[in-house]
Structure 1
Amino acid sequence: MGALLGLLSGTAPAHAIVNGTKAVRMPPYMASLREYGRHICGGVILDDRTILTAAHCLQRQSPPDALSVGVGSLQLSRAALYPVEKYVAHPRYSVFVAYDNDVAVLKLATPLTFRPGSVGPVGWPSSSDRPPYGETLSIAGWGLLSEGGSAPDDLYTTSVSGLRNDEEGCANYSREGRLSDTMFCAGYPDGHTDACQGDSGGPLVNRYNELVGIASWGQGCARPGRAGVYANVSKLHSWIKANT
């Protein structure tokens, strides 16, 4: 992932989202954030006018009319595109505290057309702000196939485990003081599978398809001892709701 999950580059190995599998069914809440037509990050549908993504995906502060959102297809090239009217990043988003409060809300210029099974809003978990430690979680995206690899046209998905700060895979970040209470780790101690560049802003969901995290940052992709880090949407819920 490098510092961020949002940037794209380079050549092609065998798997995407790093040792994931090609999705066979479209998560209806999944979105692609485009800048001048090019996929830069994932996103998640909150309602027919609102998309949630990572604040760092908007660091270049491109004008809203340079942005669009693709929905409704496993293939980037076949997605229905909707223009962005405006966006706002969390006011306390900070690159100086390892991407603290890494969430942003986009408002679409025209409402989405919801279609059962292909386009629709994500579910929300209970009000508890406890990170989903020990739970099996799912992440999907159109990000790089491997660290330094190429990005696919097809959506890929994988499962990761929510990790406590003191667990192998997350403890390195914790010791380095890079974790705040608005983020948590998910992955495996040996690396195995992970999100990668271009997956930032994408939804991390539990087994009930409820949103628990937004792909944010990490060191490399699927490196042993370096799990992916996700924005904790339960901790950030009040700000997200106020801007929806």
Structure 2
Amino acid sequence: MTGVGALPVLFRREIGRAARDTLLGFAAGVMISASYFSLILPGIDAATEQYGAVLWAALVAAGGIALGALAVAWINETVPHEHFITGREGTDSRALARIWLFILAITIHNFPEGLAVGVGFGGGNVANGVTLATGIGLQNAPEGLAVAVALRGQGFGRRRSVLVALATGLVEPVGGLIGVMAVTVSEVLLPWGLTFAAGAMLYIISHEIIPETHRHGHQKRATTGLITGLILMMILDVTLG
């Protein structure tokens, strides 16, 4: 879906900023809904079964969310990278070298999403895993578009921009594999894994996506996209999960 989202770059010269902000808002809405309906609530349910007390389940969820957010914050501060949208635009002599920083930034962004899907399937609830995979796939499309458009702004060709955007999505299966392995090894890790993935995604939404969608005066469109994405993911969770 990341690659599919990048395909319009092959056929259209420019994607308007307002459309990009709306699509990123949609991605944020899907991620928020997935975090709560497909990760935090199932995590609380799993913790309640393990510990037998709602208070302990809530504390486990709180700990998992905090750890997930702290983990991404630590990576964000310690790993050198540069964001696609907020970085400099236009061709320069270091564009080729900077692409690795771009890819690293998207790795930080996409890894928790793959982790969430892997934990969803690894917990034994296939319906929950399918819901997560569908929702994350939907929100990956606008992300792929944003990546490809930013690369075009750096002077990269159309095909190369699409291929690099596609490559950035390949980190999600890696995160998914790690998530499956973690919760398969021990069921005790299931509530922690679910809420950890949620915390990681919520940090990314608040720290990167929403501020970016509001930076160019398109707050109303971005908010409309966010609400639409949240509602769509909620419907998917109710009907599929």
Tell me the TM-score normalised to structure 2 length: 0.28
Which is higher, the Rg of structure 1 or of structure 2?
2
TM-score (norm 1): 0.28
Which structure has greater helix proportion?
Answer: 2
Higher relative contact order (CA 8 A, sep 6+): 2
Higher strand share: 1
